[in-house]
Amino acid sequence: MRINLHNSNHSLNSKNENSKLSAVIHFLSRFEWIQIFAIISLATIGLIFIYSTGLQRDSDAEFKKQIIWLSLGFITFISLSFFEVKLFKYGSLPFYLFVLSLLIIVLIPGIGLKIYGARRWLDLKIMRLQPSELAKISTLLMLSWVMSLEWFNINKFKCLMIAGAIVGLPFSLIVIEPDLGSSLVLIPVAIFVIFVAGYRWRNIIIISILGIILSLGGIINEVYQIKPLLKGYQRERVAVFLNPERDKLGRGWNQMQAKNAMGSGGLTGKGVGKGTINTLGYLPKTVSNNDFIFSVIGEELGFLGSAYLVFMYILLIISTIRIALCASEPFGVYFAIGVLGIILIHSFVNMGMSIGICPVTGLPLPLVSYGGSFMLSSMIMFGMLQSIYAHRKRD
């Protein structure tokens, strides 16, 4: 009788242990760990080189601020990963309207901060908020929600116009600031989502041809200044990109020094904090920790360090595609593809600025560049992706 009782207790304990183990495994399986690994790696690299760029000004103020923003970002990331996906869907419209109101408020003199001729920031005392960064999320959420509704068919003209209006409103307000770089991000992101939604190839070809014609017309318009749409500094920025020698001590200086930094790093780099172009201030402190942080990484970690950074972005892209493929509903698919577009555009353009294949647009390097608004908005997007993955289709 004692033996049977002992066996029963042992069996009960085994079941409890198996149950606990299953619960742990189930909890861990809700997270997309490739994405988490890439995020932690990129954020760590960002902190190291924000600290490194602070050496030239003998200040760690930006480093400390970035730690605070990153901490807030991770808290937001973890919190959103446990939300139900339907909350993102139903919150899309209120959030979209809220961000539109912020984009209008930031344009009001005396409220929106005007820096270097652009009115893009709201002073919240604890940080400067850039509504255009939130606009990327709100526009993508709104677009994903509307396009996932049963009545919506992207191949109907009316529906296409609705999608265009959703993107067009924030696009116009951001252009007015002006912030051409951030506004232009919205267009390819929308194209990514529309393409995945099943837009007909015939229409894609027609629109592409029209786009090429309009682009050529726009270039001719700007070159001959018939009715130029670009501001003077924007035209000059493009001209300097095409010919840096045009103003090598002025507008062309930053990009020339960025390329010098990349080239001087060699295979393994000069070591963290030992990059001369960075520490001696040839790459100005106003851009070394955000627009051109990839150049600092290239100089101090060399080709191998730069390649590792690129590999982390590849992992981030793979994880985002994986989340899109296993999303349980169209909303999740569209949102994940839109986030993919944001990652691709920001990373390609930012790194392209450092090696001279893209004009300087001010787009930050995701999770690496200094700045609170984009860090928080990035962590919001990734937290939502984790929620979509947690509620994925299971075999």
pLDDT at 79 > cutoff 50:
yes
Mean pLDDT of 221-240: 70
Exposure string of 298-329, with b = 16+ CB inside 10 Å and e = fewer, is bbbbbeebbeebeebbebbbebbebbbebbee
pLDDT more than 70, % of the chain:
88
**Mean pLDDT on 30-34:** 90
Residue 8 lies in a domain: no
Across the range 339-355, mean pLDDT stands at: 93
pLDDT of residue 15: 67
Asked if residue 258 is part of any domain, the answer here is yes
Q: In this predicted structure, which of 159-168, 230-239, 304-313, 369-378 has the lowest mean pLDDT?
A: 230-239
C-alpha torsion sign, points 158, 161, 166, 167: positive
Alpha-carbon gap, residue 78 to 98, rounded angstroms: 23
Residue 128 makes CB contacts below 8 A (sequence gap 6+) with 113, 121, 122, 372, 373
For tokens 């908005």, what's the residue?
A: 377
Q: In this predicted structure, what is the pLDDT of residue 78?
A: 95
* Span 84-132, pLDDT tens digits: 999 999 999 999 999 999 999 999 888 888 776 678 888 877 778 899 9
The pLDDT of residue 3 is above 70: no
- Sheet hosting strand 112-115, strand order edge to edge: 112-115, 118-123, 128-129
* pTM exceeding the 0.95 threshold for the entire prediction: no
- Give the pLDDT of residue 33: 94
**What integer is the mean pLDDT of 59-67?**
87
pLDDT digits (tens, 9 = 90+) for 40-52: 999 999 999 999 8
Range of weakest confidence among 11-20, 171-180, 369-378: 11-20
In a domain, 13, yes or no: no
Q: Is residue 4 part of a domain?
A: no
What is the phi/psi pair of residue 30, to 5°? Answer: -75, -15
The answer to whether residue 11 sits within a structural domain is: no
- The whole-angstrom separation of Cα 70 and Cα 377 is 11
**245-294 pLDDT tens trace:** 666 666 778 888 888 889 888 899 899 888 888 888 888 877 888 889 99
Residue 22 lies in a domain: no
- HEC per residue, the chain: CHHHHHHHHHHHHHHHHHHHHHHHHHHHCCCCHHHHHHHHHHHHHHHHHHHHHHHHHCCCHHHHHHHHHHHHHHHHHHHHHCCCHHHHHHCHHHHHHHHHHHHHHCCCECCEEEECCEEEEEECCCCEECHHHHHHHHHHHHHHHHHHCCCCCCCCHHHHHHHHHHHHHHHHHHHHCCCHHHHHHHHHHHHHHHHHCCCCHHHHHHHHHHHHHHHHHHHHHHHCCCCCCCCHHHHHHHHHHHCHHHHCCCCCHHHHHHHHHHHHCCCCCCCCCCCHHHHCCCCCHHHHCCCCHHHHHHHHHHHHHHHHHHHHHHHHHHHHHHHHHHCCCHHHHHHHHHHHHHHHHHHHHHHHHHHCCCCCCCCCCCCCCCCHHHHHHHHHHHHHHHHHHHCCCCC
Burial class of residue 24, CB neighbours in 10 A (0-12, 13-18, 19+):
exposed
Average pLDDT score over residue span 23-42: 88
Whether 181 maps to a domain, the answer reads yes
Give tens-digit pLDDT for 181-193: 888 899 989 999 9
Nearest Cα to 345, choosing from 325, 363, 332, 362? Answer: 363
Structural domain boundaries enclosing 151? 41-390
Structural domain count of the chain: 1
In the prediction, which pLDDT does 273 show?
Answer: 86
Is 34 part of a structural domain of the chain?
A: no
Does position 21 have pLDDT exceeding 60, yes or no? yes
Mean pLDDT for the chain?
86
